[in-house]
């Protein structure tokens, strides 16, 4: 096992979604770098998609979900990382297998026994699990941990401000908009006032995504069972929010969980489900510094035909070269002849998927037109690039507010997009009167974000302490009176808030 600690084994289990797997895998790599063995797991179906996208790389995935040998140990820092996937009971040939309602039902019924069996295989192979780590969409994972007597941790994959918003909503600690009173401004400790249009849309009374709301809030039923609640954020970014949460539901910043600046073999360890079109980096090489507009709405957001047409016209009319990520399921929504026209003009490039963090780090980047998912938000902050914020739903809305109004690195593109507004916003962040200040602030955030995860930085120290806590917990045979006391205090604090709010 080299320098790794053979007595310390972390099992990370992720919800099978691109925005969930990526940050959890990045945390898994950073934990492994401190010395432990880390096994990373998600569903077999999602694992197959990751494997297919990485087929041309040297990334050694197991050939089979039940492969529990050590032949695929990947050295990471002082430790090792391995992959082992579990079956969720779905038919890989079912075109509706990714339907959220169906997926959540399968995970809820088939996930616990499958993960429990995976854990037993580790013990049988001589590497018993010391700690289980999951992300929020699989809250039952903490029940599995409790049943097996293994301490559990949760990685919150959105901002601390959004965590606080959901926490206060779930425990009824603040007044939120309702059908009867829709215009409520929400006041929460450590967070600027949030108007209805600033809230995560899943908390609005006319939210059409009821299933997602239930899934998100379900995690707070189990949260008190977690020994550690970690956050993909950094102290310097949300200091007031972390300080306020310390009084009711403490969470520990361990981010930004991005790959910015990562080199060598570790940079190959990714979990993208689409193969990135790396030739776009060569295309960027041909452009002047700070000249290119980069556009991406992530792995889930669906735009309308009208929005695609307006974005297409606005980008062409902006007078700047642009790189636009258009997933295969959105490609047919582009205006007829658009790709051919921009190819002839030599000013635009459309790709199905990009190596986003390499793109954001490229000196040719002038700005990022983004849907403001939290992963993209952290990636752009760590890259120091100004933004045009175009949020659609969920936590993207408050993320956009913070990027533009509090972090000061961009402007908001009104929805639905209009070509004139696209032109105006691109101009504002690249050459407008505030463009220089935005770029300066973006550079400052880049330095702070990189420092947080550098050796000895605030988040790096928190990850080291997390590993040490698990090591001490394991050395004490799972007896941790301090945890029992802190958990009781946390529950008592929640009850105090609930009583006070009634």
Give the N- to C-terminal CA distance of the chain in Å, as an integer.
Answer: 55
In contact, 131 and 10? CB cutoff 8 Å? yes
- Bridge partner residues of 228 (DSSP): 153
- Ramachandran region of residue 92, left (φ > 0), alpha (ψ -120 to 50) or beta? alpha
Segment (H or E) for 101: helix 100-124
Q: Is the peptide bond before 45 cis (omega within 30 degrees of 0)?
A: no
131-134 vs 37-41, strand pairing mode: unpaired
* 98, two tokens: 């990714």
Listed in sequence order, the DSSP H helices in 346-418 are: 356-361, 374-383, 396-401
Distance between CA atoms of 496 and 341, rounded to whole angstroms? 63
Listed in sequence order, the DSSP H helices in 131-278 are: 141-148, 160-170, 210-222, 239-245
Distance between CA atoms of 232 and 40, rounded to whole angstroms? 17
20 is catalytic: yes
In contact, 27 and 230? CB cutoff 8 Å? yes
In contact, 285 and 313? CB cutoff 8 Å? no
* 4, two tokens: 């790794």
List 9, 20, 362, 371, catalytic entry: 20
DSSP, collapsed to helix, strand or coil, labels residue 306 as helix
- Please give the sequence-ordered ranges of beta strands (E in DSSP) within 102-234, or none if there are none: 131-134, 152-156, 186-188, 191-194, 228-231
Q: How many Cα atoms sit within 13 Å of 496 on the Cβ side? A: 9
In contact, 111 and 86? CB cutoff 8 Å? yes
- Please give the sequence-ordered ranges of beta strands (E in DSSP) within 7-73, or none if there are none: 9-13, 37-41
Which residues belong to the active site? 20
């Amino acid at each position: 096992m080299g320098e790794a600690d053979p007595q310390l084994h972390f099992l990370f289990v992720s919800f099978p979604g691109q925005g969930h797997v990526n940050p959890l895998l990045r945390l898994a790599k950073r934990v492994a770098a401190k010395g432990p063995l880390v096994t990373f797991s998600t569903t077999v179906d999602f694992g197959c998609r990751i494997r297919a996208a990485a087929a041309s790389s040297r990334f050694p995935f197991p050939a089979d979900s039940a492969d529990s040998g050590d032949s695929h140990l990947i050295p990471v820092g002082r430790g090792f990382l391995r992959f082992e996937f579990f079956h969720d009971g779905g038919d890989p040939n079912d075109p509706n297998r990714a339907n959220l309602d169906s997926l959540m039902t399968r995970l809820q019924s088939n996930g616990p026994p499958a993960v429990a069996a995976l854990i037993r295989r580790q013990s049988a192979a001589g590497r018993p699990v010391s700690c289980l780590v999951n992300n929020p969409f699989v809250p039952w994972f903490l029940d599995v941990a409790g049943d097996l007597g293994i301490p559990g941790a949760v990685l919150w994959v959105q901002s601390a401000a959004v965590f606080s918003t959901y926490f206060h909503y779930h425990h009824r600690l603040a007044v939120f908009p309702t059908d009867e009173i829709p215009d409520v401004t929400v006041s929460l400790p450590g967070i600027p006032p949030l108007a209805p249009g600033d809230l995560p849309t899943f908390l609005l009374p006319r939210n059409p995504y009821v299933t997602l709301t239930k899934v998100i809030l379900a995690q707070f039923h189990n949260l008190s069972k977690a020994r550690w609640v970690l956050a993909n954020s950094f102290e310097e970014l949300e200091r007031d929010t972390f300080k306020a949460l310390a009084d009711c539901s403490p969470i520990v910043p361990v981010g930004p969980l991005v790959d910015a600046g990562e080199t060598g073999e570790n940079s190959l360890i990714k979990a993208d489900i689409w193969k990135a079109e790396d030739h776009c980096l060569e295309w960027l090489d041909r452009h002047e510094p700070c000249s290119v507009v980069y556009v991406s709405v992530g792995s889930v957001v669906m735009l309308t035909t009208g929005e695609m047409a307006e974005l297409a016209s606005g980008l062409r009319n902006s007078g700047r070269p642009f790189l636009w990520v258009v997933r295969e399921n959105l490609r047919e929504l582009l205006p007829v002849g658009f790709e051919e026209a921009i190819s002839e003009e030599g000013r635009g490039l459309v790709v199905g998927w990009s190596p986003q963090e390499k793109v954001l780090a490229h000196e040719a980047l002038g700005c990022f037109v983004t849907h403001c998912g939290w992963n993209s938000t952290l990636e752009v902050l760590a890259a120091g690039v100004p933004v045009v914020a175009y949020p659609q739903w969920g936590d993207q809305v408050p993320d956009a507010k913070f990027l533009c109004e509090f972090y000061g690195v961009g402007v908001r593109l009104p929805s639905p997009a209009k070509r004139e507004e696209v032109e105006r916003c691109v101009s504002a962040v690249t050459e407008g009167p505030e463009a220089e200040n935005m770029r300066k602030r973006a550079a400052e955030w880049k330095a702070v974000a990189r420092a947080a995860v550098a050796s000895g930085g605030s988040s790096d120290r928190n990850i080291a302490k997390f590993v040490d806590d698990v090591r001490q917990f394991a050395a004490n045979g799972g007896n941790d009176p301090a945890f029992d006391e802190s958990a009781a205090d946390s529950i008592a604090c929640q009850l105090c808030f609930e009583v006070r709010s009634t």
